[in-house]
Chains A and B, each alone.
Chain A
């Protein structure tokens, strides 16, 4: 059990920067997820914590020790790889016990530890098999078992579910969460899948182009993104962005979209937005906050009319797409009020959840 800290960590591959100076404090027993698009430096960061990549600059601390020059084997970490990296010529038991055997643990202890881990992961029947004889999900469990038996200070997961099919991925996601609740070890988990990040993490670290855009709980990232990137990356379908201008009329502010529609800014936000009056902004609203009118409307829920372009029934909800002055916008309506393409529809924008973004700095105002 240990905390992990990254201080001004930089990684250059020859002259290409992969990680551009990140700071991150991970508490003991915390489940941290690094998320971001491919090439954002999240895997490189994980590999630097593991010791598989050297840092170009900065410090990495594990459990209060500076580990920059400590080889992977002495960092007391365990890693689960995307393609599992099981030793194909060893049985499941040998795979899981390899680290302990190298450390010359007594045989009885090795057996006890492997069996305990196998029970946690429900793979007791597979101990004599070889990786080739296992399904993807079973291999994933063995890879996790190999990490658990070592009882390390930190677990590192490098996109562990990417090679599984959709159904198994959801199942293993729950499984990983359960394992973490049972063994309570500090965990750093890398994924490009924001759903995985939101469901697993205590805190999510959103990375973009080698930098950390935002660190926060899943709730914070969803409701209070700090940048356009975070706002667009978290949530599916992604947040709608429409170019607009901020106008002042008497005490109130309104967001005017290029097609003439003006939305009144909720009162509690006017002071925050007032310095930006007259400036072009990006108006951001999630699809789930664009719905059909339901019951009594709150003053900050404002109606507008659109012609539907695309209708996607998903079963429990229906996504409707329409164009607002060049920008495609998505709304999320009840399937019972399902509409046809080309039809006019009245929708409600819930402005209590709106965001305004400075198009130049891409920061949320």
Chain B
């Protein structure tokens, strides 16, 4: 030890070398180094574009003059903007609600299948979530076709008049939500299935002996035990659904008469197709406060329950 120290005094370069080694060996340094690739990705693909779009939103159409909050003022005065806000909310909330509901019931059914046969059902039920949405949505687009589609053909067999699936505002809204639910329910199913599997079987047995019937077991045991998973899954899905672009873009492109636009498709229409990038940026930025507020509420509940439990 003493010899080593003496050597270090004689050779200052050696000292620097060891302190650098020490720095490299510190846990925080290692942790930072290992997360660096992710940090770089987030900065490049999320943080930089986010700030850039904030900057863009303050420019005029030709992107040459600073207009401050002018773009927002302009949006607030337009009825279409408020319609898009309303539609985005309807779209996201109803789609997430049905995804959560269907996912919950399907997860229950799958959970009751004996383990041996469960894998293939899980696999099949995940298919909608695994196929690239652009491809599966085109499939749905054909199913919705007013004159030649399978749906209307089937309805015709029962003597029902053809339905303008994508042509009538109400049906078009229904259709985009339906496809989104079809696409997103498997995600809820798999999350809930994992949560269900983590509920100890003995809790149900204890409840059965305590006198709980099927519904009471669901209400008093399953749901409280799954609350955190449900909250986090709903939040995550709410964010993704709010920002949905591909399904609406492919099925209706926002039509008829802008009645199915959501934030992302309308921002695309104004910014890219309408050549007013600052206005498009302003529209897309508007999702931020809505999602931020809901995230705070949901995560606060999750944290409270984690502390309680």
Contact = CB atoms under 8 A, between A and B. Distances in A.
B202 A88 contact: no
A73 B309 contact: no
A102 B205 contact: no
A102 B212 contact: yes
Nearest to B203: A85
A322 interface: no
A172 B285 CA distance: 62
A72 interface: yes
A77 B208 CA distance: 11
A102 B225 contact: no
B206 A79 contact: yes
B209 A89 contact: no
19 contacts: A50-B205, A51-B208, A51-B209, A52-B205, A73-B208, A73-B209, A73-B210, A73-B212, A79-B205, A81-B205, A85-B200, A85-B202, A85-B205, A87-B203, A87-B220, A98-B207, A98-B210, A98-B220, A130-B309
A234 interface: no
Interface of B: 200, 202-203, 205-213, 216, 220-221, 224-225, 227, 305, 308-309
A99 to B, nearest CB: 4
Contact of B308 (A77, A130, A150): A130
Contacts of B210: 73, 98-99, 102, 146, 150
A180 B214 CA distance: 32
Interface in A85-106: 85-89, 98-99, 102-103
B220 A72 contact: no
B198 to A, nearest CB: 11
Contacts of A81: 202, 205-206
Contacts of A146: 206, 210
A83 interface: yes
B212 A79 contact: no
A52 B207 CA distance: 11
A81 to B, nearest CB: 5
Nearest to A81: B202
A50 B212 CA distance: 14
A318 B200 CA distance: 44
Chain A binding site: helix, strand, loop or mixed by DSSP? Answer: loop
B221 A73 contact: no
A132 interface: yes
A5 to B, nearest CB: 20
A56 B227 CA distance: 38
A78 interface: yes
Contacts of A150: 210
A98 B308 CA distance: 19
A78 B203 CA distance: 13
Given A73-B212, A102-B210, A102-B216, A88 B205 contact: no
Contact of A103 (B202, B207, B211, B227): B211
Contacts of B200: 83, 85
A73 B210 CA distance: 6
A99 B217 CA distance: 12
A130 B202 CA distance: 18
Contacts of B305: 89
A124 to B, nearest CB: 22
A299 B105 CA distance: 78
A71 interface: yes
Given A52-B209, A79-B209, A130-B308, 19 more contacts: A51-B208, A51-B209, A52-B205, A71-B208, A72-B205, A72-B208, A72-B209, A73-B213, A81-B205, A85-B205, A86-B206, A89-B305, A98-B220, A99-B209, A99-B211, A102-B211, A102-B216, A130-B309, A146-B206
A283 to B, nearest CB: 45
